Amino acid sequence: MPELPEVETLCRQLRKTIVGHTLLNTRTLDEKLENFSELENHQVISVTRRGKNLLLSFDNGRVLVIHLRMTGRLLWQEENGATPNYTRFIMTFPHGRIFFIDPRRFMTITWERTFPVQCGPEPLPRIDPAYMTGRGKNRKGPIKTFLLDQTVIAGISNIYACEILHLAEIAPMRPVCSLDAQQWQRLLSAADAILNKAVKCRGTSISDWRDFNGQKGTFQNELRVYGRDSLPCPRCGATVVRCSLGGRGTYFCPECQT
């Protein structure tokens, strides 16, 4: 669930809350995660985002890279309260603490030395279409799968890929190399529009996504195809279809997406 807009939302909230503050204590509650006590008593210098990764820089030169994968969440708590279920890691600051929550335990927390992962360019601001035609040359696979490839573009996953292709009026199964210049243009404009709007909405709370304060986002109210199979397409009225591409649920309008 956490894609670029969700991670960007957390990034901004985290930045406002912890930059300039000293990390007093860390606690690892999952043996899959390392011990990070080396960061204790060091100040947070910056919080940034790269694709779906959150980067926390500390004043000892270390950078922590957090990836939430499928079900990871970060939750801020100022009052001393109960530890939420599935908490895997805790960071305590003078004015509150951060719970790293993850039922499925896919979340990763690593040092900078394992970074940069191969990460394509950020879709915001808009990517140059020439880059996409270059990368997409000779690619026979479906455009939707291509959009999910983090080494091509950083930060897009299933929900936003479906929404972007719908706005761009491009069918998800179209071979990458079949897109013309105008379609690449439309695709990149659509990515820019959808992702910007989703950031403004603080993400899509279709199941368990919550922001740093436990609040839902609102982009689920803006979805035009994702999760809407057998409902009418908001643009042309035809029935939205669900199919499987690369093993993932894919929603599109067979009428106006070509």
Partner DNA sequence: CCCTATGTTCCCAA
Partner DNA sequence: CTTGGGAACATAGG
CA-wise closest residue to 159 among 201, 213, 127, 129: 201
Contacting residue, 67, 126, 197, 200, with DNA by CB under 7 A: 67
Contact between 216 and DNA by CB under 7 A: the answer reads: no
Per CB under 7 A, 134 contacts DNA: no
Task: Give yes or no for residue 9 binding DNA (CB under 7 A).
Answer: no
Rule CB under 7 A: say whether 1 interacts with DNA: yes
The footprint of DNA on this chain (CB under 7 A) covers a number of residues equal to: 35
DSSP the chain: ---HHHHHHHHHHHHHHHTT-EE-EEEE--TTS---GGGTTEEEEEEEEETTEEEEEETTS-EEEEE-TTT-EEEEE-S--PPPTTEEEEEEETTEEEEEE-TT---EEEEGGG--------SSS---HHHHHHHHTT--SBHHHHHH-TTTSSS--HHHHHHHHHHHT--TTSBGGG--HHHHHHHHHHHHHHHHHHHHTT---SSS---TTS---SGGGT-SSTT-TTSBPTTT-PBPEEEEETTEEEEE-TTT--
Neighbours of 137 (CB within 10 A): 9
CB of 253 to DNA, least distance (A): 18
Active site residue 31: no
Residues 103-132: x/- map of binding to DNA (CB under 7 A)?
xxxx----------x---------------
What is the C-alpha to C-alpha distance for residues 212 and 78, in angstroms, rounded to an integer?
A: 12
| Binding test (CB under 7 A) with DNA, winner from 55, 249, 255, 256 | 249
Is 144 considered catalytic here?
no
The yes or no reply on residue 246 touching DNA (CB under 7 A) is yes
By CB under 7 A, name the one of 28, 87, 150, 196 that touches DNA: 150
Among 148, 190, 201, 225, binds DNA (CB under 7 A): 148
Q: Smallest gap, in angstroms, from Cβ of residue 140 to DNA?
A: 4
User: Whole-angstrom Cα distance, residue 131 to residue 27?
Assistant: 43
Cβ-based nearer residue to DNA, 148 or 164: 148
Among 75, 90, 193, 206, binds DNA (CB under 7 A): 206
Site map (CB under 7 A) of DNA, residues 26-55, x = contact? ------x------------------xx---
- Applying CB under 7 A, which residues contact DNA? 1-3, 32, 51-52, 67, 69-71, 103-106, 117, 138-141, 145, 148, 150, 157-159, 176, 206-209, 244, 246-249
Enumerate the active-site residues: 2-3, 52, 248
